Amino acid sequence: MSAHLASLQGRIAAACRDARRNTEDVTFIGVSKTRAAEDIRPLLAAGLRHFGENRVQEAADKWPALRAQYPDITLHAIGRLQSNKAASAVALFDVIHTLDRVKLADALSDEMQKQNRPLPCFIQVNTGDEKQKGGIAPDALEDFYAYCTKTRNINVTGLMCIPPADDIAALHFALLKKYAARLGLSALSMGMSADFESALRLGATHIRVGSALFSG
Ligand SMILES: *Cc1c(COP(=O)(O)O)cnc(C)c1O
């Protein structure tokens, strides 16, 4: 298990060297969705502290026990969030990557105030304009960003995308970087098992890696 972690850390270091970037500027998020606590423990023992989950209920079932043992973990919400789950999401997670619509911004902002947990958030952008996928449409991004930050006081730190499966991921990473630069945002949550090296070349600060971490 941690053999995969060591090999991924080597690949990240190499990609950062090629791009003349510091590895310290990259947050490696182990995507632990569908993985049992027994499979997560070796990664915790090896020192990994950032994890991503895509379902609130699953995270609620798995993480409180692990967190009791490792209080310094950071849990990232990377899946589509329903606004009626905002209360548990704000209580459980430390970073939200999938802020993508007004109703969710309202619900999260209300809960973050109520719980006094102003979580850093990424706005998810639907760079491929895919109907079935979450994310704000690129042409609505600027207004949505203003709404989140000015009207709702949300701490938006960056942008996130999931490129269409049948497209060249690098094109979407470059687009996301351009959108972030326009808004003056530096954090970029992009890159998964198949394409994190390309994402790192294009400025990813948060990569989300699941299958390559757990099954090589
Ligand atoms: C599952 C998932 C990942 C990890 O994907 P892998 O290809 O297994 O690395 C990353 N981001 C999101 C949003 C996911 O749902």
Ligand 1 centre to CA of 114 (Å) is 30
**Phi/psi of residue 177, nearest 5 degrees:** -65, -40
At 191-208, the pLDDT tens digits run: 999 999 999 999 999 999
Q: Whose CA is closest to atom 4 on ligand 1?
A: 210
The whole-number average pLDDT for the span 7-19 is: 97
Ligand 1 centre to CA of 150 (Å) is 30
Q: 216 pLDDT band (50/70/90 cuts)?
A: confident
Atom in ligand 1 nearest the alpha carbon of residue 29? 10
Full DSSP string of the chain: -HHHHHHHHHHHHHHHHHTT--GGG-EEEEE-TT--HHHHHHHHHTT--EEEES-HHHHHHHHHHHHHH-TT-EEEE-S---GGGHHHHHHH-SEEEEE-SHHHHHHHHHHHHHTT----EEEEB-TT--TTS-SB-GGGHHHHHHIIIIIS---EEEEE----TTS-HHHHHHHHHHHHHHHT--EEE---TTTHHHHHHTT-SEEEE-HHHHT-
Ligand 1 centre to CA of 76 (Å) is 12
Ligand 1 centre to CA of 117 (Å) is 26
Rounded to whole angstroms, the Cα distance separating 74 from 92 reads 10
At 40-98, the pLDDT tens digits run: 999 999 999 999 999 999 999 999 999 999 999 999 999 999 999 999 999 999 999 99
Do 212 and 30 form a contact (C-beta atoms < 8 A)? Answer: no
Atom in ligand 1 nearest the alpha carbon of residue 31? 4
Atom in ligand 1 nearest the alpha carbon of residue 97? 13
Q: Which of 31, 75, 161 to mutate to test the pocket of ligand 1 (most atoms within 8 A of CB)?
A: 31
Confidence (pLDDT) at 157 = 98
1 pLDDT more than 80: no
For ligand 1, which residues put their CB under 6 angstroms from it?
Answer: 31, 33, 54, 78-79, 162, 192-194, 208-212
Rounded to whole angstroms, the Cα distance separating 178 from 193 reads 23
Q: Which two tokens stand for residue 70?
A: 């490792």
Mean pLDDT of the chain: 97
Q: Which two tokens stand for residue 153?
A: 């006081």
Q: Which two tokens stand for residue 119?
A: 């979580």
Ligand 1 centre to CA of 68 (Å) is 25
Buried b (16+ CB within 10 A) or exposed e, 42-58: ebbeeebebbbbbbbee
Confidence (pLDDT) at 36 = 96
Amino acid at 18: D
Ligand 1 centre to CA of 209 (Å) is 6
Angle 37-45/56-69 helices, nearest 10 degrees? 40
Q: Measured on CA atoms in the order 164, 3, 8, 209, is the torsion positive or negative?
A: positive
pTM of the model: 0.97
The whole-number average pLDDT for the span 20-34 is: 97
Atom in ligand 1 nearest the alpha carbon of residue 214? 8
Rounded to whole angstroms, the Cα distance separating 69 from 41 reads 10
Q: 3 pLDDT band (50/70/90 cuts)?
A: confident
Ligand 1 centre to CA of 31 (Å) is 6
The whole-number average pLDDT for the span 11-31 is: 97
